[in-house]
Amino acid sequence: MKNDNVVALRTPEDFLKDPLTAILRNGARKLLEEALEAEIEGYLEQFRELKDSTGRQRIVRNGYLPAREVQTGIGQVMVQVPRSRDREPDGAVLRFSSDILPPYLRRSRSIEELLPWLYLKGVSTGDFSDALKGLLGEAAPGLAATTISRLKAKWAEEVKAWRKRDLSDKRYVYIWVDGIYSNVRMADRQCLLVIIGVNEQGRKELIALEDGYRESEQSWLSVLRDLVARGVKQAPALAIGDGSLGFWKAVEQVYGQTRHQRCWVHKTVNVLDKLPKSLQSKAKEKLQAIWMAPSKKEAEKYLSAFVHEYQSKYPKATECLEKDKERLLAFYDFPAEHWRHIRTTNPIESTFATIRLRTAKVRNCFSSTTVVSMAFQLCLCAEKRWHKINGAERLSKVMRGIKFVNGEEARRNAA
């Protein structure tokens, strides 16, 4: 559908259709002209003392380059970039080149950043032109397949650089881990191995994003050893994840002091799957009562009651719950303010819901590099919206090894 709110500023009829956009675009053009003028004046000032053989200033203004259109967030803007002249080159010619508008720029940086998100959010290459017209008006440019290929290559390079970053100044108190399977067709049944951590200031960070094979122990070992090699020497106090991960055997070899917390969301799903549908709603309430209990003792009481009620008829369900009892209740040994954050792997689940949405729409066979690149870009976007965890001031105490009982410091509890 045509978007009449953004039109090309070309005719009086266009102006009448949308005078506000025309005013904004004229204002943008004037600001851009002023910025370019200031930029070339600064360039000329650098060479003010440079003279030619006759004593004249060697670097001078020389009109403008041919006008060209640049696509911005409010449509196309016609601009002319100033140019300079070197009166007496003595080898290399000194020539002004704008940082604001490089010679071959045809789209503003905001538009360049828009393109990956259209792709990652499910817009296919063939639909780009229509999508951009809906956002920018009929004057929006089309996009060649080569543009998308270039962007995907850029994303892959960004992932490579990020994976090599130095982490020696990082300390992570808690880490959430999971193996995320995409829905795209790939050569192997691969998954994304994800680690999100919270630092001592309470801020969440994407720590690792790797392609692994079926969440295997060896795949996780490779990820964790790489973190150690890049500087994460101190073991996190607690790791939160699904019980089926090969991660748990791997973390014992790399960070042996890290406590284990099983994700209650995953565990609840696993237990309910072993019960008839007619009982699942009631059973879910009883499971919730366990992890919502104000103390570990009460949680154990509710857990025992659940086992007593369902064990005789549904032993597989109660066995699934009991086998991870200690690791399901580990969060009680940490500050109460942190419980809501460390009982589940929600930071990963909520972030990767959008990635599953994107990959579910894709019908082509993707390489693992493309899948990881897509996931990385979406994670960077999500990371900007992550909030600090509650009670961040208590994280340093956790890292110093101060003991907590039922969410409070042990010495206060004893008093």
The secondary structure of residue 189, as a DSSP letter, is -
Question: Could you give the CA distance from residue 25 to residue 76 in angstroms, rounded to a whole number?
Answer: 8
Provide the b/e sequence for 192-223 (b: ≥16 CB within 10 Å). bbbbbbbbeebebebbbbbbbeebbbebbbeb
Q: What pLDDT, on a 0 to 100 scale, did the predictor assign at position 107?
A: 57
Cα–Cα distance measured from residue 112 to residue 118, given in angstroms and rounded to the nearest whole number: 11
Residue ranges in the chain modelled with pLDDT below 50: 1-16, 134-135, 185-187, 361, 363, 365, 413-415
Question: 238-241 and 259-262 as β-strands: parallel, antiparallel, unpaired?
Answer: parallel
Alpha carbon 175 to chain centroid distance?
16
Q: How far apart are the C-alpha atoms of 217 and 251, rounded to whole Å? A: 9
At a CB cut-off of 8 Å and minimum separation 6, what does 74 contact?
6, 21, 24, 25, 28, 136
Whole-number Å distance between alpha carbons of 272 and 206 = 31
Instruction: Give the pair of three-digit tokens for residue 157.
Output: 């390079």
Calpha distance 25→31 (Å, rounded): 10
Helix axes 109-120, 368-383, angle to 10 degrees: 120
Residue 282 tokens, joined: 């009631």
> Which are the contacts of 324, defined by CB distance < 8 A and separation ≥ 6?
243, 262, 267
What's the confidence (pLDDT) of residue 294? Answer: 96
Among residues 95, 66, 91, 59, the alpha carbon closest in space to that of 81 is found at 66
> Rounded to an integer, what distance in angstroms lies between the CA atom of residue 119 and that of residue 108?
18
CA dist 257 and 251 (Å) reads: 9
**CA end-to-end span of the chain:** 69
Q: What per-residue confidence (pLDDT) applies to 77?
A: 78
CA distance 218 to 206: 21
pLDDT at 76: 74
Task: Return the residue matching tokens 């006008």.
Answer: 67
Tell me what pLDDT residue 18 has: 56
**What SS3 state is found at 404?**
strand
Q: Which of 4, 92, 78 is nearest to 36 (CA)?
A: 78
For residue 64, report the phi and psi dihedrals to the nearest 5 degrees.
Answer: -135, 155
pLDDT, residue 184, reads: 53
The tokens describing 43, both together, are 């360039």
How does 81-97 read in b/e, with b if 16+ C-beta sit within 10 Å? bbebebbeeeeeebebe
The whole-number pLDDT of residue 268 equals 96
Q: pTM for this one?
A: 0.69
Q: What is the pLDDT of residue 129?
A: 57
